Structure 1
Amino acid sequence: MRSASMNKFMSWLSPLVLAVAAGCASTAGPAPQPVPVKVFVGAMFEIGQNTGDRAGEFQHWYERYWRNATPMPVKGALSPVYCNTDGVCGAVLGMGKVNSSSSMQAILLDPRFDFSRAYYVISGVAGTPPSRGTIGAVSWATWLVDYDLGHRWAPEENTAGAPTFMPRKGYEEYRRFRLNPDLVAWAMKLSADTPLKDSDSARTYRLRYPDTVARGAPFVGTGTHMTGDTFFHGPGMSRQAQYIAKLYGADDYVITEMEAAAITLVIKRTHGTDRVMSLRGMVNFDQGNPQETTLQHLDPAPGQTAGGFAETVENIAAVGTRVVDYIVVNWAQWQGGVPAAGAR
Structure 2
Amino acid sequence: MKLSYILMGLTLLFTTAAHAVGSVGKIAPKVIVLAGFEVGDDTGDAPGEFQYWAEREKLTGTLAVPGAPHPLRYNAAGLYGSVAGNTRDKFLSTVPASELIMALCLDPQLDLRKTYWIINGISGIDPAAGSIGSAVWAANVVDADAMREIAESEMPKSWPYGLFAIGTTAPNQLPKTHADAGGWGGATLSYTMNYPLNAALTRWAYGFSRSHATLDDSPALKAWREKYTVYPAARQPPQIMMGGTLATARYWHGEARTQWARDWVKLWTGGKDRFVTTAMEQAAYVGTLQRMAKQGRVDFNRVMMLRSASNYSLPPTGQDVTTTIGDESLGTVPAFEAQYRAGSVVVHELLKHWDHYEKVIPTP
TM-score range, shorter chain: 0.7 to 0.9
SS at match of 1:254: strand
Counterpart among 343, 347, 351 of residue 320 in structure 1? 343
Deviation at 1:325, TM superposition (A): 0.9
Deviation of the 1:59 alpha carbon: 1.2
Query: In 2, distance between residues paired with 1:310 and 1:204?
Result: 16
What residue is the counterpart of 2:124 in the other structure? 127
Shift of 1:135: 1.1
Q: Among all aligned residue pairs of Structure 1 and Structure 2, give the percentage whose two residues are the same amino acid.
A: 29
Distance 1:308 1:200, change over 3 A: farther
Structure 2 SS opposite 1:45: strand
Is 1:245 matched with 2:243?
no
Instruction: Tell me by how many angstroms 1:28 deviates.
Output: 8.1
Give the whole-Å Cα distance in 2 for the aligned partners of 1:38 and 1:50: 21
Identify the match of residue 166 of structure 1 among 158, 164, 184.
164
* Higher deviation after alignment, 252-261 or 48-57: 48-57
- 2:175 aligns to what? none
Q: Secondary structure at the match of 2:342?
A: helix
Distance 2:192 2:94 in 1: 13
Aligned match for 1:47, one of 39, 48, 55: 39
The answer to whether the Cα contact below 8 Å between 2:138 and 2:242 also exists between their aligned partners in 1 is yes
Equivalent position of 2:180 in the other structure: none
Alpha-carbon contact 1:279-1:316 (below 8 Å) kept: yes
Q: Report the secondary structure of 2:243's partner residue.
A: strand
Q: TM-score, normalised by structure 2?
A: 0.79
SS in 1 for 2:49: coil
Matched residue, 1:335: 358
Unaligned runs of at least 5 residues, structure 2: 16-24, 86-91, 168-187, 294-298
Q: Specify the code of the residue in structure 2 equivalent to 1:76.
A: G
1:142 pairs, out of 115, 130, 139, with: 139
1:246–1:171 distance in 2 versus 1, CA, 3 Å: farther
Query: 186, 192, 203: which is aligned to 1:185?
Result: 203
- Max Rg structure: 1
- 8 Å CA contact 2:311–2:331 kept in 1: the answer is no
Query: TM-score, structure 1 length as denominator?
Result: 0.84
**How big is each residue's C-alpha offset from its partner over 1:165-187, in whole Å with a ceiling of 9 and x where there is no partner?**
32225775562111111101110
Residue 21 of structure 2 is matched in structure 1 by none
In structure 2, the residue matched to 1:276 is 303
Closer, same or farther: CA 340–299 of 1 in aligned 2, 3 Å: closer
Deviations 1:285-320 (A, max 9, x none): 1111122222222266xxxx6613222211111110
The equivalent residue for 1:197 is 216
SS in 2 for 1:321: helix
Partner of 1:13: none
Candidates 16, 27, 35, aligned match of 1:35: 27
1:209-259 residue CA offsets vs partner (Å, 9 max, x unmatched): 111111110000011100001011111111111111111125110000111
Work out the CA distance in 2 between the residues paired with 1:281 and 1:242.
Answer: 18
Verify the 8 A CA contact 2:246 2:261 in the aligned structure 1: yes
Tell me, which stretches of 5 or more residues in structure 1 are unaligned? 1-23
